[in-house]
């Protein structure tokens, strides 16, 4: 008996895999996009990718961190990064303690016409809350709406264009992502779920694991759930022990939003 793992990154299938898995990395560049385009700078490329797709030909989007091997928490910005952020008309930061360096750079180069979208602030989060909001579909949609609203604010003449870009993103760009969610929901409906992260909404009263449909409601924002930091070793041990005793049919791993079903085959 082994766990078959099915990976489902919840950070939108149209983004790059490197961006999805929470990483980030160096890649700052000087400002200077196409003439007449709205200058947008994202601290991380998972938000930058969405901003670029929503803005299309009307925006020039640059992301400071693009390498998944770089930890945004400890990233040391360069002088080029500071210049890039200083020239942004729209700056997007994750917030919630994830990229404090970006907020410091913006504060050091104030600009009256700049709009700053802080994802954590937008979602009403506080220090200590889970900063990895790109894994929460409802949060991603909230950020999407906020980006388009900021585009409309900065470039009112382009509002109709941005509305078309948004509609295309929702109906075509997210098609594979929505298909994967439906597939997971159908395949694992009614299956007990274990987890390696302390997502409070995945437990029923008394400590029993919730079903896959409850997990889906949690991750889509219809139930409250929160992850605080990395999973502790003892929590990993609890999941492994439960899986080994065949008490779990499904396991959720927080590092990639992975779901696995216990079968008689080899681990894949």
Q: What is the pLDDT of residues 226-246, one digit of tens each?
A: 334 445 555 556 655 655 554
pTM here?
0.67
pLDDT of residue 196 exceeding 80, the answer is no
Q: What percent of the chain has pLDDT above 70?
A: 59
Residue 28 to residue 37: CA distance in whole angstroms: 19
Look at the block and give the residue holding tokens 């295309």. Answer: 168
Residue 185 to residue 80: CA distance in whole angstroms: 44
Q: What is the pLDDT of residues 241-251, one digit of tens each?
A: 655 554 555 55
Average pLDDT over residues 43-71: 95
What is the pLDDT at residue 10? 38
What is the pLDDT at residue 267? 35
What is the pLDDT at residue 34? 56
Average pLDDT over residues 192-203: 51
- The domain spans of the chain are 17-175, 188-263
Homologous superfamily in CATH for domain 17-175:
Nitrogenase molybdenum iron protein domain (3.40.50.1980)
Terminal alpha carbon distance of the chain: 12
Please tell me which residue, 193 or 98, carries the higher pLDDT value. Answer: 98
């Amino acid at each position: 008996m082994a766990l078959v793992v099915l990976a489902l990154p919840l950070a939108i299938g149209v983004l790059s895999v490197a961006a999805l898995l929470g990483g980030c990395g160096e890649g700052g560049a000087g400002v200077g996009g196409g003439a007449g385009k709205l200058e947008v700078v994202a601290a991380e490329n998972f938000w930058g990718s969405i901003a670029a797709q929503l803005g299309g030909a009307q925006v020039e989007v640059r992301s400071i961190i693009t390498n998944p091997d770089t930890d945004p928490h400890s990233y040391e910005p360069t002088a080029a990064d500071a210049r890039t952020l200083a020239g942004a008309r729209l700056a997007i930061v994750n917030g919630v303690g994830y990229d404090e360096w970006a907020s410091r750079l913006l504060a050091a180069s104030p600009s009256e016409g700049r709009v700053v979208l802080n994802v954590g602030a937008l979602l009403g989060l506080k220090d200590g809350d889970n900063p990895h909001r790109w894994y929460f579909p409802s949060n991603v949609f909230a950020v999407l709406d906020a980006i388009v609203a900021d585009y409309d604010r900065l470039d009112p003449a382009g509002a109709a264009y941005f509305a078309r870009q948004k509609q295309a993103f929702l109906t075509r760009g997210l098609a594979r992502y929505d298909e994967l969610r439906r597939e997971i929901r159908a395949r694992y409906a009614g299956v007990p779920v274990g987890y390696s992260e302390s997502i409070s909404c995945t437990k029923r009263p008394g400590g029993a694991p919730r079903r896959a449909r409850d997990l889906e409601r949690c991750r889509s924002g219809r139930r409250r759930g929160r992850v605080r930091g990395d999973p502790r070793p003892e929590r990993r041990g609890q999941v492994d022990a439960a899986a080994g005793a065949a008490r779990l049919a499904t396991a959720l791993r927080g590092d990639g939003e992975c779901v696995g079903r216990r079968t008689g085959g080899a681990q894949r």
